[in-house]
Chains A and B, each alone.
Chain A
Amino acid sequence: MAIYESQELRKPPISQVGIVRWLRVNLFSSKVNVGLTLAALYMLYVIIPPMLGWMIFDANFNFGEFSFLGFEFGEIMATNDNCGRAAACWPFIYEKFDMFVYGFYPRELVWRVDIVFALAASLFVIVRLVRNYKYKNKVLLAMIIGFPIASFFLIGGGVFGLEVVKTHQWGGLMLTLVIASVGIIISFPIGVLLALGRQSNLRVINFFSTIYIEFIRAVPLITILFMASFVLPLFFTGGISFDKLLRALIAITLFQAAYFAEVVRGGLQAIPTGQYEAADAIGLNYVQKNALIILPQALKISIPNLVGSSISLFKDTTLVLIIGLMDMLAMVNMTANDINWLGRETEGFVFVTMTMWIFLYSMSRYSKKLEVRFSTDHKN
């Protein structure tokens, strides 16, 4: 028998670190890998330079004259004709920017929409600021209830002397954001209830939740939008006219609720039976058990999929153009038919793509942060 002395800690061998090592391991580790790396490099070479040329180097950025600190810049704004066809003509976007963002919203009233945008942005800041505040939950609740109401009246008007702006004047990015956020926010609680319903032991509730979810999931959103737009009014013959936007919102909410329900159900299934039993054993009732024990855990696990589903919905909102709502994508088709800017759809689509990307990538990053913050592991 022997006794061993405790060993010292050492740095890893030099071959385990450094950039050369990284390249070898990640890009050139085998013949196949070398081939794939070279193929990827070639593809980047084929795609990137022309793309940058079209978008930036050969593109026209001539937005007109402006002065800054007393210096004059630029020349008269480029028109469709002196822009050339080989590269992007960004003055088109510059001139139609308001159309893309606000649609046909009266120009003199867009400050109201801007306030809503500013409020939305400040929500994220407030959420950060109150993180350690004692009445955090009350502040958050007030925000969740207050913001949509304030936004509705700011955009729609009709109170405090604000001029009414009919929904058919709403459009562009603003409309996209309204549809997406209303769809996401309202369908979420419905989705949670449906998920609980589908897990329920009560046969009737279980049955109807399942039927609802499976029916909606088996039908494309376009179909539901058409139904809501053309079939729903048939049921209300008594002169009640449904707002077109409201119909779209109802359709999207009902659609998204079914998807959220399935995502949440996935989270519910990941909760061990022990959690249900422990909650039962300490005497919690059904509502307490779900509100205090099960849902907080299930929703945390579901964050990535909830955000994924929300991102899908955000993209799907572009479908509303087929029932005649003028969202951001519809505005591209609209503005590219302007006699002065014929044939500039590409710029418009690139702009929409980038805008969508900025919003959706931010959502995705935000969900990553939420995951970390709400992590229930508490391992350290």
Chain B
Amino acid sequence: MKTENNNANIIQISDLNKWYGEFHALKNINLNIKEGEIIVVCGPSGSGKSTLIRCVNFLEKFQEGEIIVNGIQLTDDVAKIRSVRSEASMVFQHFNLFPHLSIIDNLTLAPIWVHNEGKEEAREKALKLLDRVGIKDQAEKYPNQLSGGQQQRVAIARSLCTSPKIMLFDEPTSALDPEMISEVLDVMIELAKEGITMICVTHEMGFARKVAQRIIFMDEGQIVEENDPETFFHHPESDRLKLFLDQILTH
């Protein structure tokens, strides 16, 4: 598939190649994502799915190809990188909240320092977002005083604080105890309904089935198969996807 220059595409990835030293981590990735689209990326570990979404906000450098996010082409230009990062927020597997700052300070940091918002304004917005993820009453606490599920919801709220157009989720539920996964997924489903563009690396197939418009299966640094959820789960074409689905769905 070759990239067409379509303005409706909020993310365009063309011929993306990335190496870690000698290791070819991403092989010729082409992917276009429309505004408001919900994409789930799955695949076995080491397949390059995290690397892919980390390239989108330039947490990882890549050697070949181009990525255009919201009309901005990613280069080494620091200013461009920073503006892409405020358009495309990242939620991490291990939350990566700032443990020395209270929850509310975690949220208001970027609005105050990066977007020059007033303290009061930022605080008000942050409280609204905390309310949205259901933990407004924990605003003055510190990250380590919250459960994993609550921390991840704070992390989602923190990502939303800069009003991004795109949310990147890097295995947001993989580090959580089983009973906390659903509270985080619920928040993500709510977000999906609101029309924000989402790329979500996850193993939660229930979530994928429910909200994804496209599911992308990666293996060994390549996109192997890409389909709507119905076809993806019920009529997988490639053998590798069949094997993968077999492994994760049959127990």
- Partner-B contacts on A (CB < 8 A): 272, 274-275, 277-285, 288, 292-293, 296-297, 300, 376-380
- Residues of chain A contacted by B135 (CB below 8 angstroms): none
Q: Does chain A have a CB within 8 A of B162?
A: yes
Contacts of B162 in A (CB 8 A): 282-283
- Nearest residue (CB) in B for A278 is B96
Query: Shortest beta-carbon distance, B143 to chain A, in Å?
Result: 8
- Most chain B beta-carbon neighbours within 10 Å: one of A279, A280, A293: A280
Residue from B59, B85, B86, B145 within 8 A of A378 (CB atoms): B145
CB neighbours (8 Å) of A377 from chain B are 99, 144
Given A277-B92, A379-B145, are A283 and B110 neighbors across the interface (CB < 8 Å)? yes
Known: A296-B100, A378-B145. A282 touches B110 (CB 8 A): yes
* Complex: A285 Cα to B85 Cα, angstroms: 11
Taking a contact as CB atoms closer than 8 A, the residue among A277, A280, A284, A378 that contacts B144 in the complex is: A378
- Chain A residues with CB under 8 Å of B59's CB are 277, 280-281
Q: Is B18 an interface residue (CB 8 A)?
A: no
B113 at the interface (CB under 8 A from A): yes
Q: Which residue of A lies closest to B90 (CB)?
A: A281
B32 an interface residue at 8 Å Cβ cutoff? no
Contact flag A376-B100 (CB < 8 Å), given A281-B57, A284-B113:
yes
Interfacial chain B residues near A282, Cβ < 8 Å = 85-86, 89, 109-110, 114, 158-159, 161-162
Q: Which of A278, A283, A300, A380 contacts B98 (CB 8 A)?
A: A278
Q: Which residues of A contact B158 (CB under 8 A)?
A: 282
Given A281-B85, A282-B109, A292-B113, also A378-B98 (CB < 8 A)? no
Query: Residue of A at shortest CB range from B107?
Result: A282
Check B114 against A297 for contact (C-beta < 8 Å): no
List 15 A-B pairs, Cβ < 8 Å.
Answer: A272-B94, A272-B96, A278-B98, A281-B59, A281-B159, A282-B85, A282-B109, A282-B158, A282-B162, A283-B86, A284-B114, A285-B82, A293-B98, A376-B99, A379-B144
0/1 interface trace, chain B 76-107, chain A, CB 8 Å (1 if under): 00100010011001101010111110000000
Q: Is B142 close to A, CB under 8 A?
A: yes
A-B contacts counted at CB < 8 A amount to: 73
Find chain B residues with CB under 8 A from A378 CB. 99, 141-145
- The contact of A281 among B78, B89, B99, B144, by CB within 8 Å, is B89
CB-nearest residue of chain A relative to B114?
Answer: A283
A377 to B85, CA, bound (A): 29
Chain B residues whose C-beta falls within 8 Å of the C-beta of A297 in the assembled complex: 98-100
Assembled-state Cα–Cα distance A272/B175 (Å): 16
List B residues 49-95 near A (Cβ within 8 Å). Answer: 57, 59, 78, 82, 85-86, 89-90, 92, 94
**With A and B bound together, what is the CA distance between A292 and B112 in angstroms?**
12
Residue of A whose beta carbon sits closest to that of B115: A283
Residues of A within 8 A of B99 (CB): 297, 376-378
Once the chains are docked, how many angstroms separate the CA of A275 from the CA of B95? 10
Query: Given the complex of chains A and B, what is the CA–CA distance between A283 and B164 in angstroms?
Result: 12
A27, chain B: closest CB distance, angstroms: 38
Taking a contact as CB atoms under 8 Å apart, the answer to whether B94 and A274 are in contact is yes
A281–B142 Cα gap in the complex (Å)?
20
Query: Measured between alpha carbons, how far is A297 from B96 in the docked complex, in Å?
Result: 13
Find residues 116-147 in chain B having any chain A CB closer than 8 Å to their own CB: 141-145
Nearest CB to that of A300 among chain B residues? Answer: B100
